[in-house]
Copies of this chain bind each other. A is one copy, B any other.
Amino acid sequence: MQARERLVTSAQELMAERGYGGMSPRAVQDRAGAGQGSMYHHFTGKADLARAALDRTAADLRAQAATVLDGPGSALDRLVGYLERERDVMRGCPVGRHAQDPGVIDTGPLRAQLDDTFTWLRTRLTTLVTEAFGDRVDAAALAATIMATVQGGYVLARAAGDPRPFADATDGLAGLLITLGGPSCT
Q: Are B159 and A102 in contact (CB under 8 A)?
A: no
Taking CB atoms, residues of chain B closer than 8 Å to A99 are 154-156, 158-159
Residues on the B chain within 8 Å of A156, using CB = 99, 118, 144, 147-148, 151
How would residues 113 to 137 of chain A score, 1 for a CB under 8 Å from any chain B CB and 0 otherwise? 0110111001000000000000001
The residue that A185 contacts in the complex, of B148, B175, B185, with Cβ under 8 A, is B185
Tell whether, in the assembled complex, residue A159 and residue B114 are in contact, meaning their CB atoms are under 8 Å apart. Answer: yes
Contacts of A33 in B (CB 8 A): none
Does A111 interact with chain B (Cβ within 8 Å)?
A: yes
A87 to chain B, nearest CB (A): 13
Q: In the complex the two chains form, is B19's CB within 8 Å of A160's CB?
A: no
A97 on the interface (CB 8 Å rule)? yes
Expressed in whole angstroms, the Cα–Cα distance for A100 and B90 within the complex equals 10
List residues of A whose CB falls within 8 A of some B CB. Answer: 17-19, 21-22, 92-93, 96-103, 105, 111, 114-115, 117-119, 122, 137-138, 140-156, 158-161, 165-166, 168-173, 175-176, 179-180, 183-185
Extra contacts, 20 of them, besides A114-B159, A176-B180 (Cβ < 8 A), are A19-B21, A21-B22, A22-B102, A96-B155, A99-B154, A119-B160, A138-B172, A143-B168, A144-B153, A144-B156, A145-B173, A145-B176, A147-B152, A148-B152, A148-B166, A151-B151, A151-B155, A151-B156, A152-B153, A155-B155
